[in-house]
A and B are shown apart, each in its own frame.
Chain A
Amino acid sequence: MVEATTLQRTLPLEGRVSSGPRVTIRPAPTAQRVSLRASADAVSAVSKGLGVDLPITPKQSARAGARAVLWLGPDEWLVIEEGERDLLADLGRAKALYSAVDVSHRNTAIVVSGPAAADTLNAGCPQDLSLEAFPVGACSRTVLGKIEIVLYRTAEDVFRVECWRSFSQYAFAFLAEAARAR
C-alpha cells in the first residue's frame, strides 16, 4: 500500500485569466455537476430530492443557494453545485425513475463578465443575447465558434460558459481573442 494520498482537482484552465477594461474572462472554481434526465412524471420527486424545482420551460434555470439547475431539453437538465452539498447523494433520495450521471469533470466553466460580456460571446455565439431574449437566469446549449457550449446568464453582465474539458483551451482562447476587439 502506497502512502495515503489526497489528490486535488486540477482544472484545465488553472491560472488563466484575460482581463480588459470592458470584459474579464476567468475559469470558474471546481464544481459538482450532474447530467440529469427524467420524464415529466418524475419532475416533482426529483425536485424534492434536489431541493430545487426543476425548470420545465425552455431556456430557463432555477437556483437555490449554490445549486443551479439548467433546462437543456424537455427531459434534460444540467445541475451545478458550487458548494459542498453532495449532489448525487441528494438525488439518490428522490423516489422516481431518472438518470443521473456525474459529469463534474467532463465540463469545465469559464466566467465572462463585464459590460462587453454579451458582445464578446456574440463573437462566436449566434444567439440573441440581449436581456430581452436572454435574460438573467436564461440558459441554453448552443455554439461558440466551432464548439458546443452551455451558456448561462447569472447576472446582467455575467455569463457562465460550460464546455467539455478538452474544448476549454479553445473556448478560453476564443473568448480572449474576441475580448481584444472590445
Chain B
Amino acid sequence: MLLIHCPYCEEERPEMEFRHAGEAHLERPKNIAEISDEAFAAYFFYRDNPKGVVFERWRHLHGCARFFNAARDTVSDKFLTTYKAGQPKPDLVGAANMNIPAKSGKSGK
C-alpha cells in the first residue's frame, strides 16, 4: 500500500483513503457544445498512458474528499509530487530523470 501526500491534508496518508481519478490537466472546453467531433474525441476519449512520468488526478475520497493532481512514475510506482487541483503542471525535469529507471532495469515477474 502506497503512502500518498495529500496537498490539502498536508501529510502522507495510506493509499486506501484515496481513489485514482484519471489523467490530469484535461480541461473541459468552455464552448464544448460547439467543438468538432475530433476535438471532442481528443478531450473525452483519447489518453496518452505513457510509460514513465504521468500526471494524474486522485481524490482523497476517505479523507478531505478533495481532488488533487499528482505526478507519478509508472515504472517505479513512485509519486514525484502532488499538488492542488487548478495548479499548473510542475516542472519535474530533474526529478523525472532521477526517478525513471534505466531501460536495462530488470522487471519483476
Do A and B assemble together?
yes
Q: A residues engaging B (CB < 8 A)?
A: 58-59, 72-74, 76, 126-127, 140-143, 148
The answer to whether the Cβ of B65 comes within 8 Å of any Cβ in the partner chain is yes
Whether B8 and A142, one on each chain, are in contact in the complex, defined by CB atoms closer than 8 angstroms, is no
Whether A141 and B10, one on each chain, are in contact in the complex, defined by CB atoms closer than 8 angstroms, is no
Q: How many residues of B contact A (CB 8 A)?
A: 14
Pick the residue among A58, A72, A126 that contacts B10 (CB under 8 A). Answer: A58
Whether B62 and A73, one on each chain, are in contact in the complex, defined by CB atoms closer than 8 angstroms, is no
Whether A141 and B11, one on each chain, are in contact in the complex, defined by CB atoms closer than 8 angstroms, is no
Whether A126 and B14, one on each chain, are in contact in the complex, defined by CB atoms closer than 8 angstroms, is yes
Whether A58 and B14, one on each chain, are in contact in the complex, defined by CB atoms closer than 8 angstroms, is no
Whether B62 and A59, one on each chain, are in contact in the complex, defined by CB atoms closer than 8 angstroms, is no
Interface Cβ pair total, 8 Å cutoff: 41
Pick the residue among B10, B14, B64 that contacts A127 (CB under 8 A). Answer: B14
Q: B residues engaging A (CB < 8 A)?
A: 1, 8-11, 13-14, 16-17, 62-66
Whether A76 and B62, one on each chain, are in contact in the complex, defined by CB atoms closer than 8 angstroms, is no
Whether A73 and B64, one on each chain, are in contact in the complex, defined by CB atoms closer than 8 angstroms, is yes
Q: Whose C-beta in chain A lies nearest to the C-beta of B66?
A: A73
Whether B64 and A142, one on each chain, are in contact in the complex, defined by CB atoms closer than 8 angstroms, is no
Distance to closest chain A CB from B17 (angstroms): 6
Q: Whose C-beta in chain A lies nearest to the C-beta of B1?
A: A126
A58 and B8 in contact, given A72-B64, A73-B66 (Cβ under 8 angstroms): yes
Identify 7 new A-B residue pairs, CB closer than 8 A, beyond the known A73-B64, A142-B13.
Answer: A58-B8, A58-B64, A72-B65, A141-B17, A141-B64, A143-B62, A148-B62
